[in-house]
Each structure stands twice: as C-alpha cells, then as structure tokens.
Chains A and B, each alone.
Chain A
Amino acid sequence: MNNIVFLPVLLPFLTGIILIFFSKKIQTQRILSLLSVILGIVISIVLVLNVHHQGIMALEVSSWEAPFGIAMVADMLSSLLVVTTSIVGFAIMIYSFYSIGIEREKFFYYPVFQFLLVGINGAFLTGDIFNLFVFFEVMLMASYVLLVLGGTKPQLRESLKYILVNVISSALFVITVAYLYSVVGTLNMADISRRIAEAGQPGIITVIAVSFLIVFGLKGAIFPLFYWLPGSYYVPPIPVIALFGALLTKVGLYSIMRTYTLLFYHDQGYTHELLGILAIATIIVGVIGAVGYWDLKKIIIYNIVIAVGVIAFGISLMNEQGLSGSIFYMIHDIIIKAALFLLIGVMIKITGTSNLREISGLINSYPFLGWTFFIAALSLAGIPPFSGFTGKLLLLRGAVSGGEYVGFAVILLSSLMMLYSVMKIFINGFWGPPSPSRPRAYADAERVPVKRLLFPSALLVAVSIVYGVGAEAVYPFISQATETLMQPDIYINAVLKE
C-alpha cells in the first residue's frame, strides 16, 4: 500500500495527459481538472494521516532496493506541503474558471496547470537528488508556458529573462550534482547523507553545500539572487501569479531545508551562518520593496521575498523551535499569499488598474471583499488569532534560544513593515470617497462576477483562519515533521531499511 506515496504525482500527470486530447472542449476540461484536484486533496490528506500513524513512508519505484533505484519518500514535511499545494491548487483552479479567459483556456491552460502540480508534488516527495532536478525541470517548463501563455508584449519580455535565469540555475544544479556524485558516488539522498556522515563533511562538501544554496536560492529568491522575481511575477494573469507566488519559491525553500537538514548538517558554522545572513538581507530587501511601491501586485510580490527570508532564517537556526516555526510559517505563507494575490486580482478586476493611487472607497460597494482583505492582511502580519502568529512566535523563540538577536529584531520589525504595506492597500483602496477619476471602470465592474471570484480567496482565508485558530491541533503534525528534520537517522533508516 506504499503506492499512495506516488499518487499525488501520478494523478495530475494522468489528468494532464488526458486533457491534452480535447483542448477545445473547455467545459470538459474544467470538470475533469476540478475533479482531479479534489481527488488530489483527498489523497494527500490520506497520505498525511498514514504518515502520522506509521511514520515515514518510502516507496522504492519498481522494487529496486533503496540506494540503487529511485525512492519516493513521504515524511511529514513533504506530505503537509503536498496537502497545502492541493488546497491552494483547488482554489486557484476555481478562480481560473472565472478569470483566465477563453483564449488561454483553449490553448492548454489546464493541462499545463496539472503538469505544474506534477512538478511541485514530485519535488516535495522525491528522495533522489537527480530526480529532484528532473521534477524541478517539469515544474519550470510548465511555469515557462504559463508565464508566456497569451503572448502579450510584457509577458514575452519577462519570459525571456525568467527562462534565462532558470536555464543558468538548472545548469548549476547539474554541475553541483556532478560534483556531489564524484565525491560520494551515489544519488539517493539518504545514502548521500550516510556517506557524508562517514566522511565527516570535508571542505569540498561545504563547497557543494554552498553551491546548492546558490542553486536553490535562485529558485527560491534569496537575497542576492532574487532580482528576477519582481519583473517576472508582475506580468502573467492573476491566477498564474498566485500559483507562482504561493508555490514556486517554496519548492526552492523546501529543497534548502531538505539538503541543509539531511545532507549538510555536520559543519554548521559556515553554511548555516551564511544562510542566516542572506536570510536577514532578504528580509530587509523585501521590506524596502514592499514599503516603497504603490502598486498592488508589486507590494504583494515583495511580501513573497520577505516571507522567503523569514523561512530561510528559521532553517539557518537549526534548532527545534526554529525549524518547526519555519515549517508552520511556510504552510501559512503558501495559503495566505495565494489568498492575497486572488484578492488583489478581484480589486484589479473591479477597478481596472493596479495603481493604488487611483483606487479608493471600495468598501462602500464591496464590503465583503474589504473585510476579507483586512483579515488576510492581519493574518499576513501575524496578529495573534490568525495563522501568521504561531509560526513567527516559534521562529522568534528559536532565534532567542539560538542567540540570534539581530535576526529576532529584524523579523519583528519586518512584521510591522509587512502590516504597513498591506494596510496601505486597505486604507488607500477601501477607505475614502469612491474614486471619481475612474467611473468607466467601476461601471464595467457591474458585469464582473465579483461574488464568484471572491469565493476561492474567501475559502483560502477561511482555511488560514482555521489553521491559525486550530494551531493546537496542527502542532503534532508539525512537530513530527520537525523531529525528522532534527534527526536525519529517522529518514535514513526509513529509506535504507536498516
């Protein structure tokens, strides 16, 4: 029954293939992909429960024994991220029905959507470093297509840059895997970890660890490597931005978390210190961007960068509270970023602009939208009853017990600035008199199905409230995930069956 580990990858893969055959029949496409995403949620929840009761599930593909074949491994961290991916995928899929437009839907939007889910779920579940590369490429190829689909001028321009950056980072990934293979002679992550432990992490392994940080930092937008993100994430349609902003950078962060806790944990003085410094710099840069812009999309995009920094800082602490805070915050951030992008998508749909200076007084006509956005904003900043609070609290306690007071202060201040940046949207966009300068756009808004568009984002905000209020119930899962990260032997023994 271990085959369930592979289902979150197989299901969207098969759906994607089937959907290719009738790309012009949009209704069938929608129904099939919706069914598949719902089934995906069910499967991933079953997976989480299984892992919770039985411990780590490892599937040896084709029954080749562990270091020789490819192993798919579902530990608690992977399964939780797969659940979150499915839920966010479901909400964004519904939002796409009402907003992506018939032209894009006819040109393989839903199949590519499914292939993106294949790549993300595969990257979360794989136990093989080269297989991770392949799933990264599946994810990136799908993201190239989603980014450029529609072919407007800004999309073409930014896709060129996005592809170039990712081609370079993929080549670096291959190079780094080649170096690692020449040192340890294996590709299975559990086996690599065991052999590095035997060698006691010599200098060359530290070099490889830093190379991996560069590779995954390029995917996950860490400080000096984040420059591609604001431009690329600005141009595609809103559901695509939500998908990218919520999930793609988190795959890079997950990979950093996996490699830095499972493989390169012997000589933490250099690598984890470096990660910590870069994380703090990432937070600062993200804050500057989020506070500086007067554009809805740019503000939320820079909030992604801040969250990346916060999560990376939690990884660099390498103590139990820091890591569990990081995991808690990562899941929260996937949900809330998707919700925020969908909410500003509704605002842009209503007003026809993403310039905050041209929007005001929306609360009169759209109170539900306004208060949903308000709750999402509080949740993003980490106000106690909502979901951002617990993760940051754990992170801050981890920072204190690790003696990292600079990081502690930066994270607290960054929360304030995050709150300021989203409240800027709320106060300027929703309060005040209705904007007189754009009467035409508001008239158009009558025809926009705002209630339908709001449903998925309200759903995500509801999930995030439940996640925040029910932190007590979620915590056993998080602490199980942390336990595996803190003690790599659990993972290694589960995969290599010793």
Chain B
Amino acid sequence: MEVLMAVVIGILFMSATYLMLSKSILRIIIGTGLLSHGAHLLILTMGGLKHGTAVPLLGEQAESYVDPLPQALILTAIVISFGVTSFFLVLAYRTYQELGTDNMDQLRGKEANE
C-alpha cells in the first residue's frame, strides 16, 4: 500500500513541478495546489498505513488505533496552504488587473541603475 502511495505522490510531485515551470500564473497556482496535495498525502503515508486499525476515536473501543499525530499535522498544513493559496490567487487576480498579463515572461524586472 505504501509503495502504491509513494508512486502516486511521486506522480503528483512530477505534475506539480511541470506546471510550476510553465509561463501562465494560473498553471503555476494549480501546480502549487498539486504540490501541497502531494505533501499532505506524504505525511499520511509516512505516518504508516496499517490495515485493521480503528479511526482515532476513543468511542470505538478498538484494540489499536491509527496514528493520530500525522492527521493533526495534515490538518494544520491544509489550512495553512489554504490561506496561502487564497492570498496567492487574489494576488494573481490583482496582478492581472494592474499589469494586464498573466505571462511570467512579461513580468520581468526592468530596474534602472544596474
């Protein structure tokens, strides 16, 4: 199971890298979304994926539970990346309004004094 997850996460990272190297801002943001999906799935996988264990609720009265710590870490990481992504999206919108382009090639610095 872990091997399958590792391959899937690898594919997510690959797609994220490919998208983030493209020119359009929206593709880049989609890439960051895929990257954080991959990272979150990786935490879950690295915490261990065992069969026959209960969800981490004491009411379940089970013999053994699944590791609760990675789930808390993921929850934290999800809301953080959610906040950053929404900021990033609004920033991209504003940049498009102000600068009139979504092409990273045309967003080069043209500082004088160099």
Residues in A lying within 8 Å of B, measured CB to CB: 130, 133-134, 137, 140-141, 144-145, 148, 151, 153-154, 156-161, 163-164, 167-168, 170-171, 174-175, 177-179, 181-182, 187, 231, 234, 293-295, 298, 354-357
- Beta-carbon contact of B32 and A168 below 8 Å: yes
CA distance A48 to B109 in the complex (A): 43
Given contacts A168-B35, A181-B46, A182-B47, contact A160 B80 (CB under 8 A): no
| 29 A–B contacts, CB within 8 A, in A order | A137-B80, A140-B84, A145-B87, A148-B91, A151-B98, A153-B98, A156-B95, A156-B98, A157-B99, A158-B109, A159-B91, A160-B25, A160-B91, A163-B84, A167-B81, A168-B20, A171-B32, A174-B39, A174-B42, A177-B73, A178-B39, A178-B42, A181-B43, A182-B46, A182-B48, A231-B109, A294-B114, A354-B113, A357-B113
Among the listed B83, B94, B111, which residue makes an inter-chain contact with A295, where contact means beta carbons less than 8 Å apart?
B111
Closest to B107 in A: A157
List B contacts of A137 (CB < 8 A).
Answer: 80, 84
Contact partner of B84 (CB less than 8 A), chosen from A160, A170, A356, A357, is A170
A-B contacts besides A157-B95, A170-B80, 14 pairs, CB < 8 Å: A137-B80, A156-B99, A157-B109, A160-B95, A160-B104, A163-B84, A163-B87, A168-B35, A171-B35, A171-B38, A174-B43, A178-B45, A178-B73, A182-B47
Chain B contacts for A148, CB-based, 8 A: 91
The CA of A141 and the CA of B87, in the complex, are separated in Å by 9
Which residues of the other chain, A, contact B46 by a CB distance below 8 angstroms?
A: 178-179, 181-182
Q: Compute how far the CA of A153 lies from the CA of B97 in the bound complex, rounded to whole angstroms.
A: 10
A133 to B38, CA, bound (A): 17
Neighbouring A residues of B38 by C-beta, 8 Å = 171, 175
Verify A175–B47 contact, CB threshold 8 A.
no
Please tell me if B88 contacts chain A, counting CB pairs below 8 Å.
Answer: yes
Closest beta carbon of chain A to B20's beta carbon, Å: 7
Q: SS class of chain B's interface: helix, strand, loop or mixed?
A: helix
Complex CA distance for A294 and B38, rounded to whole angstroms: 44
Question: When the two chains form their complex, are residues A234 and B43 in contact, meaning their CB atoms are under 8 A apart?
Answer: no
Kindly report which residue of chain A lies nearest to residue B43, judged by CB atoms: A178
The interface residues of chain A lying within 8 Å CB-to-CB of B54 are none
Interchain CA distance A133-B74 in the complex, whole Å: 12
Interface size on B, residues (CB 8 A): 39
A154 contacts across to B, CB distance below 8 A: 109
Contact of B42 among A145, A170, A175, A355 (CB under 8 A): A175
Known: A160-B25, A355-B113. A167 touches B94 (CB 8 A): no
Q: Smallest distance from the beta carbon of A103 to chain B beta carbons, Å?
A: 16
Question: Given A156-B99, A178-B39, A178-B42, are A163 and B109 neighbors across the interface (CB < 8 Å)?
Answer: no
With contacts defined as CB atoms under 8 Å apart, how many contacts are there between chain A and chain B in the complex? 112
Residues of B within 8 A of A167 (CB): 32, 35-36, 81, 84, 88
Q: In the complex, how many angstroms separate the beta carbon of A147 from the nearest chain B beta carbon? A: 10
Chain B residues with CB below 8 A from A140, complex form = 84
Known: A177-B73, A181-B46. A156 touches B113 (CB 8 A): no
Known contacts being A154-B109, A181-B70, is A171 close to B39, with CB within 8 Å? yes
Q: Are B91 and A141 in contact (CB under 8 A)?
A: no
Residues of B within 8 A of A156 (CB): 91, 94-95, 98-99
| Nearest chain A residue, comparing its CB with the CB of B72 | A130
Do B32 and A295 touch across chains, with their CB atoms under 8 A apart?
no
User: Given the interface contacts A156-B99, A164-B32, A167-B32, does A293 sit within 8 Å of B113 by beta carbon?
Assistant: yes
Q: What sequence of 0s and 1s flags, for each residue 70-114 of chain B, a beta carbon within 8 Å of any chain A beta carbon?
A: 100100110011011001100110110011000010010101111
A163, closest chain B residue (CB): B88
Interface assignment of B66: CB less than 8 Å from any CB of chain A: no
Which residues of the other chain, B, contact A182 by a CB distance below 8 angstroms?
46-48
**A187-B76 Cα distance, complex, nearest whole Å:** 14
Q: Whole-angstrom distance from the CB of B29 to the nearest CB of chain A?
A: 9
Report the minimal beta-carbon distance from A239 to chain B, rounded to whole angstroms.
20
CB interface residues, B 48-83, toward A, < 8 Å: 48, 69-70, 73, 76-77, 80-81, 83
Closest to A357 in B: B113
The reply to whether the CB of B14 lies closer than 8 angstroms to some CB of chain A is no
Q: How far is the CA of A179 from the CA of B20 in the complex (A)?
A: 23
The CA-CA distance from A171 to B41 in the complex, in Å, is 12
Closest to B96 in A: A156
Cα A181 to Cα B40 in complex, Å, equals: 13
Contact partner of B114 (CB less than 8 A), chosen from A145, A163, A295, is A295
A298 — which chain B residues lie within 8 A by C-beta?
113-114
Alpha-carbon distance between A293 and B113 when the two chains are bound, in angstroms: 8
- Set of chain A residues within 8 Å of B87, measured between Cβ atoms: 141, 144-145, 163
- Min Cβ gap B61→A in Å is 23
Q: Are A151 and B94 in contact (CB under 8 A)?
A: yes
Q: Which residues of A are found within 8 Å of B39, using beta-carbon distances? A: 171, 174-175, 178
Most central of A151, A170, A174, A293 by chain B CB within 10 Å: A174
The CA-CA distance from A178 to B70 in the complex, in Å, is 8
Q: Among A130, A175, A293, which residue has the most Cβ atoms of chain B within 10 A?
A: A175
Taken together as a complex, chains A and B put the C-alpha atoms of A140 and B83 apart, in Å, by: 12
Nearest CB on A from B10, distance (A): 12
Residues of B contacting A161 with CB < 8 Å? 107
Nearest Cβ on chain B to A234's Cβ, whole angstroms: 7
Closest-by-CB residue of B relative to A136 is: B80
Interface centre among B20, B40, B83, B109 (most CB of A within 10 A): B109
How many whole Å from B15's CB to the nearest CB in chain A?
A: 13
Report the nearest B residue to A187, measured CB to CB: B69
Residues of B within 8 A of A171 (CB): 32, 35-36, 38-39, 81
